[in-house]
């Protein structure tokens, strides 16, 4: 395969956007990414767009045709990618493979979701499609409930506490407060989290990522052509995807996401790096317990030590392995189809040295971890500053 680089990166402000629609969001992110790459739309060969539930949320299917049309990029091929909350990560991997294979030279990878135009209950039903409809959702389970099962088991097996989970939310809100694109700009305390309304015990409101509107986009190019577009290309040195059972009750363990373990193993091997080589990381913290388990499944700490890692400050901005510098899904927001692309935008900015007050000093290698549903899909990608 050819070596592949990110040459353009951009995103919209995440949040509740009552003034703009789906097409406005993706157009803004796409145009900004093209401008960031110092190129014209005529150079683009293909679009891969990640979106999960546009049909249910805005009544619109045939999404990437809409994107190509609205951005004036016809007649290039435009392909929708859907993998629940991992749609953006799989779109990134698909674009990476398209450029790496030599099929295309310049590819736009986008992710977008418009989630606030329907009542919260309708959004919850749409998101529920990421689980096993027959055996989980039909029986009354919600995603907070599924992750509550995971949290309870982790607490039982390893002594993880509600306060440690609350510390994840506190850290990520603090990072988000330094990110002008983040949904939440407010700093919170452990006490705030612990006093917030229970959603599915032990998970409380502040343990859960919000319903968010937003879009993100990347421009990919062969590494040998990357400096035509940017002085700071970011090479994608690995991108791996793995699967697991759709329903929790079919899994050997509730405290390990096997898809993460397998995707990470393959990504580390492909990149020729180890977990302790990662300088900065964006993980899928749809719920605070998910971030704690990600520390373990990605190999940053031993199984069962994730709660201690957040308590000891290992994953803070100035910690041993800074995690979710953007604010993560919890603080920056979670427009599901856009999340995996946003993660790569944040890592690109970190490796370029453009993250301002949340910049990790000397960051050279970054990782993104994007999960679909309760762990049935996982994409792990690793990037570094190009030589």
- The catalytic residues are 85, 334
Query: Cα–Cα distance between 381 and 234 in angstroms, integer?
Result: 12
At residue 138, the 3 state secondary structure works out as: coil
Task: Give the Cα separation of 216 and 87 in Å (integer).
Answer: 12
- In eight-state DSSP terms, residue 12 is P
Of 141, 126, 118, 132, the residue nearest 250 (C-alpha): 132
Instruction: Name the helix (H) or strand (E) containing 59.
Output: none
How many other C-beta atoms can be found within 10 angstroms of the C-beta atom of residue 113?
Answer: 32
CA-only gyration radius of the chain, Å: 19
DSSP letters for 216-264:
EEEEEEEHHHHTTT-SS-EEEEEEEEEE--SSGGGSS-SS--HHHHHHH
Place of tokens 């910049």: 359
Structure tokens at 225: 């052509």
3-state secondary structure of 314: coil
């Amino acid at each position: 395969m050819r070596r592949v680089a990110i040459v353009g990166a951009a995103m919209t402000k995440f949040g509740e956007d009552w003034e703009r629609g789906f097409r406005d969001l993706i157009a803004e992110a796409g145009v900004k990414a093209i401008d960031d790459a110092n190129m014209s739309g005529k150079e683009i060969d293909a679009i891969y767009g990640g979106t999960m539930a546009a049909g249910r949320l805005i009544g619109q299917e045939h999404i990437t045709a809409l994107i190509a049309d609205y951005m004036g990029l016809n007649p290039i091929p435009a392909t929708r990618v859907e993998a629940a909350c991992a749609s953006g990560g799989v779109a990134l991997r698909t674009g990476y493979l398209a450029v790496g294979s030599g099929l295309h030279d310049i590819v736009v990878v986008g992710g977008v979701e418009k989630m606030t135009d329907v009542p919260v209950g309708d959004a919850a039903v749409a998101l529920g499609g990421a689980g096993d409809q027959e055996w989980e959702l039909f029986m009354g389970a919600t995603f907070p409930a599924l992750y509550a099962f995971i949290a309870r088991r982790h607490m039982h097996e390893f002594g993880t506490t509600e306060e440690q989970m609350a510390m994840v939310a506190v850290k990520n809100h603090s990072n988000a407060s330094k990110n002008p694109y983040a949904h939440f700009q407010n700093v919170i305390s452990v006490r705030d989290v612990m006093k917030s309304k229970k959603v599915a015990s032990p998970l409380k409101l502040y343990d859960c990522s919000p319903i968010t509107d937003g879009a993100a986009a990347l421009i990919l190019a062969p590494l040998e052509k990357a400096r035509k577009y940017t002085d700071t290309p970011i090479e994608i040195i690995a991108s791996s995807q793995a699967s697991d059972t759709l329903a929790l009750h079919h899994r050997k363990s509730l405290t390990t996401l096997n898809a993460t373990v397998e995707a990470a193993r393959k990504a580390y091997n492909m990149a020729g790096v180890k977990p302790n080589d990662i300088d900065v990381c964006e993980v899928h913290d749809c719920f605070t317990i998910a971030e704690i388990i990600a520390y373990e499944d990605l190999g940053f700490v031993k199984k069962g030590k994730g709660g201690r890692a957040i308590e000891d400050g290992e994953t803070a901005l100035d910690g041993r392995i800074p995690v979710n510098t953007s604010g993560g899904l919890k603080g920056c927001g979670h427009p599901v189809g856009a999340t995996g692309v946003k993660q790569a935008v944040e890592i690109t900015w970190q490796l370029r040295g453009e993250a301002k007050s949340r910049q990790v000093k000397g960051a050279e290698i970054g990782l993104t971890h994007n999960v679909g549903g309760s762990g049935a899909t996982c994409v792990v990608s690793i990037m570094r500053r190009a030589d």
